[in-house]
């Protein structure tokens, strides 16, 4: 089911802004707000290009990008899960 949703987002069947949060998104939104109107101390993900988020998560997972917490968090998510979360954030304003 999760893979189906990710595939549907990838081919554009689902408009990310109207879709329910994908599995795992709640594990990010406590630190990265799901709205561009909320100021947080951590980098904003809402409204960002999904490819940037997917790339950063891959680099965190591989240890190629400096991190305090994201290296550990990134290890808990597959590329497919990150893609669904990134698409959801991209639709947030």
List, in order, residues 6 or more apart from 6 with CB less than 8 Å away: 22, 80, 81, 83, 84, 87
- Other CB atoms within a 10 A radius of the CB of residue 90 amount to 19
State how far the Cα of 69 lies from the Cα of 31, in Å rounded to an integer. 11
Name the minimum Å distance from CB 21 to ligand HEC. 11
Classify 49 as helix, strand or coil.
coil
Contacts of ligand HEC in 58-77 (CB under 6 A): 67-70, 73, 77
57 contacts ligand HEC (rule: CB under 6 A): yes
- Interaction residues for ligand HEC, span 9-28 (CB under 6 A): 24, 27-28
Residue ranges in contact with ligand HEC by CB under 6 A: 24, 27-28, 30-32, 42-43, 45, 53, 56-57, 67-70, 73, 77, 82, 85
């Amino acid at each position: 089911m999760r893979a189906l949703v990710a595939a549907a987002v990838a081919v554009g069947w689902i408009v990310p802004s109207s879709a329910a949060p994908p599995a795992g998104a709640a594990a990010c939104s406590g630190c990265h707000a799901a709205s561009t109107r909320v100021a947080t101390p951590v980098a904003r993900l809402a409204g960002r290009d999904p490819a940037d988020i997917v790339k950063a998560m891959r680099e965190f997972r591989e240890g190629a990008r400096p991190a305090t917490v994201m290296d550990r968090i990134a290890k808990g998510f597959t590329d497919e899960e990150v893609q669904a979360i990134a698409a959801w954030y991209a639709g947030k304003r």
